Chain A
């Protein structure tokens, strides 16, 4: 399967605060922060729980599915790697099984596909094994 976008876009830095997320994606697991103090889910990663101020943030594997909260379809290339590529679809996906946190990814679909807010989607793990260091992106497709 080809990747959602052409090669050459910036890779994620895989910083310490987000390490368990990036490690999880390498084994096709969706890991997000969950506070061991109050149980709140939190995304993106931060050093403190926004609800109870505990620094004891754990990580939990969550169901790799959700629903489209919003979307956009860029046409104008914002990076040299996208020159000549044409429109692609970005979705904001809400995860109802993980405290309704939201994640950003590409929707794997035709460039003119109709996109509906509320539609159910599931994660597709997209490995970039040749990158140094390797990483895996989380993409989304309509739930089959």
Chain B
């Protein structure tokens, strides 16, 4: 039997994104933003949008595949896919699902995307206004535990306390994103640098590890990538960017009710990371640039640990700003500004940045980048991750 893998089988041929806005500031409706990003990805790939035959998304994206297909006059829809789970846990999974559809022959040319206009719809940072809380929430909401920050905070408290990791390690993660945004004119935080003093003086969202600058903003915009068979990518305008490995899911009972996951202090990547590295036939030591989804900096720490990039024993020494910066840091990370400072596009902006790094066209280019890892939204479950590479890595 031939090896079952996506390694080297598909490529991202095009990337697209809208202008990124502060939440509530988009002049355009959410669906219009989705259309703009999809068309931009097709234009970038040099492919007629009517050739697109599939859409994959996550986080309960409201821009439905069939509406996109109708609006764009798509000839034939062959793949429409929504990945379960909230937030950005599914960002890499949407690309992986598109890739699986393309590689299996179910479709030929699939868009993975995310569109968000949080001014038009509800925000994430506040609890839903419901008279009675049901399901898991019945055991959480009455105690004032409602927001994503609060859902993850006790995992982070437990992990950081157990391993003696200091808040300064999280500050470096936040500062790396803001640093890179200062040379990215597309970033929402362009022209708004973050200093240690500003971080330390910022208000508590949740003690003991969530100050304001540990938490993502909320934004409006859309991002999209176009996935095609590897053979086809060779004839398109850009240097091909190949999918080397990807995985999604969660470890044993990661979603056990009311904070009862056996391995509790986790970003939920232990099995996912192992499966991703196995498919890629690579490890963290082979990666030139990391894009690590920040919902909260504590989640980034756990995500980096579970993917093998950081050893908890040396986290305080390793997670210092200079190690995380392009072009010369030991582990350049979130090189376009990430969710914190480029745009909270639920990580899709990180996939775009990974492609730019491999094409050699990033604002904060890491020289000769051949392998880029995108670690999807941590702490939720399921989670997902992927590794992309240039032709040299095949």
Contact = CB atoms under 8 A, between A and B. Distances in A.
Given A9-B144, A11-B133, A87-B207, A102 B258 contact: yes
Contact of A73 (B138, B147, B207): B207
Instruction: Give the size category of A's interface with B.
Output: 35 or more
Contact of A11 (B131, B139, B204): B131
Interface in B111-145: 125-127, 129-145
A70 B158 contact: yes
A78 B157 contact: no
A50 B126 CA distance: 32
A14 B144 contact: no
B133, B137, B257: most-surrounded residue (chain A CB, <10 A): B257
Nearest to A118: B161
19 contacts: A9-B141, A9-B144, A10-B130, A12-B142, A13-B132, A44-B257, A50-B256, A70-B157, A70-B158, A74-B145, A74-B150, A76-B206, A78-B125, A78-B127, A78-B147, A79-B127, A90-B154, A103-B139, A104-B140
Contacts of B208: 72-73
B260 interface: yes
- The 4 closest A-B CB pairs, nearest first, are A44-B257, A44-B258, A70-B154, A12-B138
A11 B142 contact: yes
Contacts of A105: 143
A102 B259 CA distance: 7
Contacts of A50: 253, 256
Contact of A69 (B130, B144, B264): B264
A45 B257 contact: yes
Given A70-B157, A104-B145, A105-B143, A79 B134 contact: no
Residue among B137, B158, B259 with the most chain A CB within 10 A?
B259
B232 to A, nearest CB: 45
A30 interface: no
B146 interface: yes
A66 B143 CA distance: 18
A74 B259 contact: no
A82 interface: yes
Interface string A53-82: 000000000000000011111111011101
B394 interface: no
A142 interface: no
A46 B260 contact: no
Contacts of B155: 70
Contact of B259 (A14, A75, A82, A104): A104
Contacts of B206: 72-76
Interface in A1-46: 4-5, 9-15, 18, 43-46
Given A43-B258, A73-B207, A76-B206, A82 B144 contact: yes
A71 B206 CA distance: 10
Size band of the interface chain B makes with A: 35 or more
A9 B129 CA distance: 9
Interface string A112-137: 00000100000000000000000001
B192 interface: no
Given A9-B141, A10-B130, A10-B142, A72 B258 contact: no
Interface string B302-323: 0000000000000000000000
B289 to A, nearest CB: 32
A4 B138 CA distance: 16
Nearest to A81: B144
Contact of A103 (B135, B203, B258): B258
Interface string A91-118: 0100000000111111000000000010
Nearest to B159: A70
A117 B150 CA distance: 17
A13 to B, nearest CB: 4
Nearest to B126: A78
Given A72-B154, A76-B206, 4 more contacts: A10-B141, A70-B161, A72-B206, A104-B143
B203 to A, nearest CB: 7
Nearest to A14: B138
Given A18-B138, A79-B127, A90-B143, A13 B133 contact: yes
Contacts of A12: 132-133, 138-139, 141-142
B205 A104 contact: no
